[in-house]
């Protein structure tokens, strides 16, 4: 179909110049002058008019530059991102992610990677329409930094980031399974460790509150 359409357009294009040549020949007697006029028309149609029209449309339309577009879209994107982050935090506060059985039943992949990124690494995860799952953090200046979601539960080199993060935050129990070659085990052990410490902290807080009330 495309080839047939291209053939029709080519025939129409050639027909226009043939008819134009016949018209010029009937009006002008000198063949050399007709040739020059047709050559000038062809140059105008192929080179001059497309270039001039492009320049004029760019000046008349006044399209925003990439920097201007980024400045306009930036606040909206930031608002959407941090809205999703607030939603995730609210779900975490409600206790939707706080069962040991859920952690142990998880399989290596997207869901486990997201949970590790959020609860261990401290990043927020959003689902971008173009780039897919993205980890969101903030740099020293408070700017949002985006990177693809790491394969923590599937790649041992990525799982070592989990171990290093645990040790850096003084969770030295990570040394017990730091040399394990199974990224899934490392991720689940880290999540269970965080969960148990969180529950122990909540239990102490409830006891303290009970003593004050009593």
For the stretch 47-93, pLDDT in tens is: 777 777 767 766 666 666 666 666 677 777 777 777 777 776 665 54
Distance from C-alpha of 200 to C-alpha of 206, rounded to nearest angstrom:
10
CA distance 147 to 138: 11
The yes-or-no verdict on residue 111 having pLDDT over 80 is yes
Look at residue 97 in the predicted model and tell me its pLDDT: 53
Q: DSSP states of 92-133 as a string?
A: HHTTTT--HHHHHHPPTTHHHHHHHIIIII--EEEEETTTEE
Do 196 and 113 share a domain, yes or no?
yes
Q: Is 48 inside any structural domain?
A: yes
- Helix 2-27 to helix 31-43 angle (10° resolution) is 140
Count of structural domains, the chain: 2
Looking at the structure, tell me whether residues 110 and 194 fall in a common domain.
yes
73 inside domain: no
Is 90 within the bounds of a domain?
Answer: no
Q: Is the pLDDT of residue 99 over 80?
A: no
* For range 90-110, the mean pLDDT: 72
Whether residues 102 and 204 share a domain: the answer is: yes
14 and 115 within one domain: no
Whether 33 and 104 share a structural domain: no
Whether residue 125 sits in one domain with residue 28 = no
Task: Give a yes or no: residue 188 inside a domain.
Answer: yes
**Contacts by 2-9 with C-beta closer than 8 Å and gap 24+?**
none
Q: Is residue 105 part of a domain?
A: yes
pTM exceeding the 0.85 threshold for the entire prediction: no
β pairing state of 124-128 and 132-138: antiparallel
Q: Is residue 205 part of a domain?
A: yes
Residue 27's domain comprises: 2-61
Of 61, 83, 112, the one marking the end of a domain is 61
Q: Could you tell me if residue 148 is inside a domain? A: yes
């Amino acid at each position: 179909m495309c080839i047939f359409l291209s053939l029709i357009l080519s025939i129409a294009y050639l027909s226009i110049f043939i008819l134009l040549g016949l018209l010029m020949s009937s009006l002008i007697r000198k063949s050399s002058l007709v040739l020059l006029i047709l050559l000038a028309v062809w140059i105008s149609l192929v080179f001059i008019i497309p270039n001039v029209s492009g320049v004029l449309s760019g000046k008349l339309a006044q399209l925003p530059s990439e920097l201007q577009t980024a400045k306009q879209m930036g606040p909206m994107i930031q608002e959407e991102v941090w809205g999703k982050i607030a939603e995730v935090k609210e779900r975490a506060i409600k206790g939707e992610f706080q069962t040991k059985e859920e952690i142990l039943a998880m399989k290596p992949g997207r869901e486990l990677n997201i949970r590790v990124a959020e609860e261990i690494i401290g990043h927020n995860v959003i689902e971008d329409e173009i780039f897919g799952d993205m980890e969101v953090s903030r740099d020293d200046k408070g700017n949002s930094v985006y990177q693809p979601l790491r394969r923590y539960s599937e790649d041992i080199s990525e799982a070592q980031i989990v171990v290093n993060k645990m040790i850096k935050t003084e969770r030295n129990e990570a040394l017990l399974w730091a040399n394990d070659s199974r990224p899934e085990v490392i991720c689940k052990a880290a999540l269970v460790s965080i969960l148990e410490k969180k529950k122990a902290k909540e239990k102490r807080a409830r006891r303290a509150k009970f003593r004050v009330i009593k």
